[in-house]
Structure 1
């Protein structure tokens, strides 16, 4: 039941409805139905939905801040449209983009790992 309420709330917020009005309406509805104890569960489900949405969101990692603009442009050309790039110095050089389980890795780290595997195998 909490999951259904949480999904309905997310859809209403995405539709542009005022958040304060949504919460007020939800609390009134739950009071009338005698289900006010569902609020903590609804909040927990909302947090879970948010975490899943963030995990699915497109993201770009770069080795240094200087590479961010070029990496975002290159990722967009590859079909991954991220808003900003995060810095991951372990990449050594280059960038890595991920969206919906698709990973595009153009980093020096991957190139070095691939080279190492070819040499050792």
Structure 2
């Protein structure tokens, strides 16, 4: 499991749950974590990511440029590129889908769905 994702144990789910009317939900940021000290850098890379994938035609070259930005930022912050990438992916998840709905099936398996709002 990604070390930047908080395990959805019964204790964590109870401690972090939010209630709005009859709806129970969680903040995605509570489970999909990233270091707040690199938030501004993640935001800059995210802006470039959005340009590439929604305004330009995605190509291997464009995807490589995002990867290069991640590696450069990781080196600057003295963390592994994989850890930086995982935090970047969590940042994107939190930005696009700030609401998380956790469910437990009849076998006790926990799953989630991410939403942009309630």
| TM band (smaller chain) | 0.3 to 0.5
Structure with higher RCO (Cα < 8 A, 6+ apart): 2
Q: Give the TM-score normalised by structure 1.
A: 0.34
Q: Which has the larger radius of gyration?
A: 1
